[in-house]
A and B are shown apart, each in its own frame.
Chain A
Amino acid sequence: MLSANNISKSFGGVRAVRNVSLSVPEKSVCALIGPNGAGKSTMLNLLSGVYQPDAGTLSFAGTELAGLPAYARVRLGIARTFQKIRLFKQLSLLENVMAGFHIHQDTPFWKYLVVGDTGRFREEARELLDFVGLGARAGDRAGALPYGQQRMLEIARALATRPKLFMLDEPAAGLNPAEVEFLLQRLVDIAKRGTTLLVVEHNMDLVMNVAERVFVLDHGEPLFEGTPREVQANGRVIEAYLGGEFAA
């Protein structure tokens, strides 16, 4: 469904990602892991269109992605969350999710001049908030939520675009064990509905529990690819992680 071939990207001479290829099959759950600075987030930013690759090709469901800006990729059905949470902090939870329906609004704007708010998608937005356990706080300001709930709100907002492929950048970072468990359940639910998932993650428990296929990056280059079990047993992966930790 999503395939990247020999993608490279450098920033001011520093090669963040070099010759990375990966392919995410439809309706699968894949994970992208690697030690700090391995280029995972850069890869996700390349896939979602925040950055454009210096070299390589990207395609999604038969459409070439390279050169397409982020907003255009959303219309193809690619949604994402951010490593550093990026919510509309001054807006309410409901407004955050409502903004997510943007690409599905098809009423011409002049109609709004006369009729104002149509209430369309409001029900669906509330359902999404319920789904991530925030239904009761719909009117609160997003910035006032505790960290873990902000993550869940960001997920609800991205789901409002009705993605075919949903990419999450370290969704478990900073969550407590109970929150990680809840997140895991929701990810499984999302996958069951037929949405393809690509998760960038540090939390090995989460990866081992949801992912069918794992890509490992190290120093911007592909290191290994396989099932979670194979990854756990692979000596080079373990070495990269341990080495990474010692270096840090």
Chain B
Amino acid sequence: MNVLLALSLNLVMGYTGQLNLGQSAFFGIGAYVSTILVKTYHWNFWLASLAAVAFAGVVGLALAAFAVRLRGHYLAIASLGFAVITYQVLVNWEKVTEGVRGIYGILPPVGSTVGLFYLIAGIGVLVYWLMDNLVRSPVGDTLRAIREDEVSAASLGVRSYVWKAFAFSIGAGVAALAGIFYPGFVGTLVPDAFNIIESFTMLAMVIVGGMGTMIGPVVGAVVLTFLPELLRGFGELRLMIYGIALTLVVLFMPGGIVQLVKRK
């Protein structure tokens, strides 16, 4: 699941150079929309999932529609704002989301947690494969061109805001896809799981692994998911380690783990 999240952010950030801090919000939208549709409206899980992903994609597109006109910092802050608003809605709209009390007793969509694990792994592989194809195709060339230089991309006929919105929206959809399976995994749903910290964690995964490569975020997600397990005794230090890793990697290893391995 973390792999999915890291992949979703990587498409937006690594390939089009947009810093999106709103991924935690899309993750949350996926989780909440699908769960509420299933629990309150008794939708079929798969139908609800489809609706949740589509919803996140559309919201992502709407946000992107104006966010993409902004570069770098503006987008980072607009997306941060979006994450804050979403979090506040989750907390305050108690009638629908149960607020901070959370939703309990959510069953996994397939028989067991183990089954769910394999399902998520399968989806992860599928998404990886699809995205890998996409970034190696001419669409990937276009996205990378936008990341490098928008003015000169425009001189080649690239409508950069359409493509940025496209990447943004797909990223939102994939984050929502990960969100759908989250509640089934942990059994409960509280707004705190979709705090802005979650966006920073995703960011750390992408950066530590290697931004703008396909395998990088996967490596980053795996490392940063298992590392804290190993360091369990450190408790609160887990996030501190994320912070240190993030800063040090940016300073000394701009290509992330992947580049380090390649060089050897």
Binding site for B on A (CB under 8 A): 48-50, 69-72, 74-75, 79-80, 82, 86-91, 95, 98-103, 105, 107, 109, 112-118, 120-121, 157-158, 160-161
Residue of B nearest to A154 (CB): B152
Q: Which of B217-246 contact A (CB under 8 A)?
A: none
Q: Could you tell me the distance between the alpha carbons of A112 and B153 in the complex, rounded to whole angstroms?
A: 21
Tell me if A113 and B156 are in contact (CB < 8 A): no
Tell me if B136 and A116 are in contact (CB < 8 A): yes
Given contacts A70-B155, A75-B157, A79-B155, contact A105 B148 (CB under 8 A): no
Chain B residues lying within 8 Å of A48, measured Cβ to Cβ, are 155
Q: Can you give 12 contacting A-B residue pairs, CB < 8 Å? A: A50-B151, A50-B155, A70-B155, A74-B156, A74-B157, A86-B155, A98-B141, A99-B156, A112-B138, A115-B137, A116-B137, A158-B156
Chain B residues lying within 8 Å of A80, measured Cβ to Cβ, are 155
Chain A residues lying within 8 Å of B160, measured Cβ to Cβ, are 71
Chain B residues lying within 8 Å of A75, measured Cβ to Cβ, are 157
Tally inter-chain residue pairs, CB-CB below 8 A: 107
Q: Kindly state whether residue B192 has any CB partner on chain A within 8 Å.
A: no
| A131 CB → nearest B CB, Å | 17
Tell me if B149 and A87 are in contact (CB < 8 A): yes
Contact of A69 among B136, B148, B152, B154 (CB under 8 A): B154
Q: Could you tell me the distance between the alpha carbons of A101 and B157 in the complex, rounded to whole angstroms?
A: 9
A70-B155, A112-B137 are known; give 20 further A-B pairs, CB within 8 A. A50-B155, A70-B151, A70-B154, A74-B154, A86-B155, A88-B144, A91-B144, A98-B141, A99-B153, A112-B139, A113-B130, A114-B133, A116-B132, A116-B134, A116-B136, A116-B137, A117-B137, A118-B138, A121-B138, A160-B156
Q: Kindly state whether residue B172 has any CB partner on chain A within 8 Å.
A: no
Residue of B nearest to A160 (CB): B156
Chain B residues lying within 8 Å of A49, measured Cβ to Cβ, are 154
Tell me if B137 and A86 are in contact (CB < 8 A): no
Tell me if B134 and A71 are in contact (CB < 8 A): no
| A110 CB → nearest B CB, Å | 9
Tell me if B148 and A102 are in contact (CB < 8 A): no
Chain B residues lying within 8 Å of A103, measured Cβ to Cβ, are 156-157
Chain A residues lying within 8 Å of B195, measured Cβ to Cβ, are none
| B238 CB → nearest A CB, Å | 33
Q: Kindly state whether residue B145 has any CB partner on chain A within 8 Å.
A: yes
Interface residues as binary, B118-159 with A (CB distance below 8 Å gives 1, 0 otherwise): 000000000000101110111101101100110111111111
